[in-house]
Amino acid sequence: MAKITVEATSRTDRGKNNARRLRSSGQVPAVVYGGKGDAQAVAVNTKQVTTILRSETGHNTIFTLKLPGSELQAMVKDWQVDPLKGGLLHVDLVRIAMDVRMRVKVPVHTFGEPQGVKLQGGIFETVTREVEIECLPTDIPTEFRMDVSSLMIGDQLRAGDVQHDSEKIKILTDPQRVLVHVVALREEEEKPAEAVAAEAATPAEPEVIKKGKKEEEAAEKDKGKKK
């Protein structure tokens, strides 16, 4: 794997104005934390971080963060994006120790056409798109791939079905968590138009009869009192 480097500078000025100036100069505000060091405010190269996030390994990419006078291994922990323009607003970086196991989330991708869709007319649905694992930084997989070809209606694949090297990787996601399943097409039960029309045209006779009966009983009582 080629060495990936992200250039960074220390950041002392805070505030929205300074953040805007950084972004206009091709940098984005960031903070580095984790490991044995204190949290450190930095500014990183926007283009380099964007390239990492769009790469095959995405936010699980391990790279060298190059600061003035020092270098360290890091990963992108979190990031904020402008909802309108799509540009990076802020990045959280975490220090990585190559000999210490860490927790990361890895995407799950499926392949194949489920038999339940092809033969039974079912619907294939993705419920959970990633699983959390624990492993050494060098053992982080790019993705987990699962074959869904044999799934029929009512079948599902769970986190416990993910194939992995148990000596290197520990799945932290609940093994019963459903990842994908095939379900039957839901059809709404609707009354025929003729039945709806008939109900609308039927007079409310029971209510009329009930009301008339009460009035008749009241009249009989008054008649008895007069006698």
Q: In this structure, what are the phi and psi dihedrals at residue 150, rounded to the nearest 5 degrees?
A: -85, -5
Residue 194 has pLDDT above 60, yes or no: no
Shared domain check, 121 and 89: no
Q: How confident is the model at residue 20 (pLDDT cuts 50, 70, 90)?
A: confident
pLDDT at 209: 46
> pLDDT tens across 126-176, in order?
999 999 999 999 999 999 999 999 999 999 999 999 999 999 999 999 999
CATH number of the domain bearing residue 192: 2.170.120.20
**Residues 58 and 141 both lie in one domain:** no
Q: Range of 125's domain? A: 98-215
| Boundary of a domain, candidates 70, 97, 124 | 97
CB contact at 8 A, 153 and 116: yes
Nearest-angstrom CA–CA distance, 185 and 167: 41
If asked whether residues 93 and 122 sit together in one domain, one would say no
pLDDT, one tens digit per residue, over 35-93 is 888 899 999 999 999 999 999 899 999 999 999 889 999 999 999 998 988 889 999 99
In angstroms, the CA 59 to CA 56 distance is 9
Closest CA to 159 of 135, 141, 180, 178: 178
- Residues 6+ away with beta carbon under 8 Å from 177: 128, 131, 158, 159
**CA-CA distance, 122 to 183, in Å (whole number)?**
6
If asked whether residues 43 and 139 sit together in one domain, one would say: no
Residues in the chain: 227
Task: For residue 221, tell me if it sits in a domain.
Answer: no
- Distance, in Å, from the CA atom of 223 to the CA atom of 213, rounded to the nearest integer, reads 15
Count the Cβ atoms, other than its own, within 10 Å of residue 157: 21
pLDDT at residue 221 is higher than 70: no
172-189 average pLDDT score? 87
